[in-house]
Amino acid sequence: MAHTPVRSRRYITGMSEHLRFVPPSVDFDPRLANELARHEAALPVASGEAHPVEGRRRDPFNGYLRMLTPQGGILILYKDQYRSLPLTILRVAAWMVMTWIGGWLIFCESSLSVLQCLLAFALLMFASALIARGRIEVSHSVEIRPDAMIVDSEDVFYAEDIGDNWPQLQMKDDDPDHMVICGICGTRFIEYMTANRLDKNDRTPELLAADLQAAIEQLWGRREVTFATSF
């Protein structure tokens, strides 16, 4: 926009001066048309208007949910990856069996053609890879109530037993993808729940720790104690 400066006209009559005010005028500069168009396109969409890409929005929380309960608690639902020593042993055993069957088909079974043996071996290797590296997702829940913490709707840990030993997010077995929420309850060190990452970009453990901190501070009223994250 082009602005015309304020001008005044002075008339001198004898020993007196008379001022006449001329209001400023505003003229449109055609060179700014493109700038105005870009500004209008960048304006946010009003709440009542449909977003042009609303149908393509993906849920960034991937099954993570936090809500209030009728009992006055805060419930958190999340998913993690099931990891345990028995599962690892079972996967290794299954992979060894699949490999042995594949070798037997190739070198010992004479009734099959070479092509059939190769196809069978490829299928067995594919199945063994799924068994060895397949990801198993497990759903969990933790509810913080004014007097207790309930894990997976089964295990109850009372606030008076936990005291000042607040749960902590810790790495297990020096594996940054293998995480647990743990702490001392009474005289026992307890792993309350697992918080394993689903993939390398998953930050569910950190979000879970932050939400647990907020819920415990709000309902248990121990704001002077921090919910620690240690690695």
First-to-last C-alpha distance (Å) of the chain? 58
Whether the full predicted model's pTM is greater than 0.75, yes or no, is no
CA 203 from centre of chain: 5
Choose between 217 and 3: higher pLDDT.
217
Choose between 141 and 21: higher pLDDT.
141
Alpha helices in 59-184 (DSSP H): 85-107, 114-133, 159-162
Pairing outcome for strands 168-172 and 229-230: parallel
Cα–Cα distance for residue pair 138/87, rounded to 1 Å: 14
Q: Which residues contact 188 (CB under 8 A, 6 or more apart)?
A: none
pLDDT of residue 60: 80
Cα–Cα distance for residue pair 70/139, rounded to 1 Å: 21
Choose between 158 and 3: higher pLDDT.
158
pLDDT of residue 175: 87
Please report which confidence band the pLDDT of residue 12 belongs to, taking 50, 70 and 90 as the band edges: very low
pLDDT digits 0-9 by tens, 41-56 = 555 555 555 555 555 6
pLDDT cut 70: percent of the chain above it: 59
Q: Where are the beta strands (DSSP E) in 16-174?
A: 16-22, 26-27, 65-68, 74-81, 137-144, 148-151, 155-158, 168-172
pLDDT of residue 110: 58
pLDDT of residue 137: 86
28 pLDDT more than 80 = no
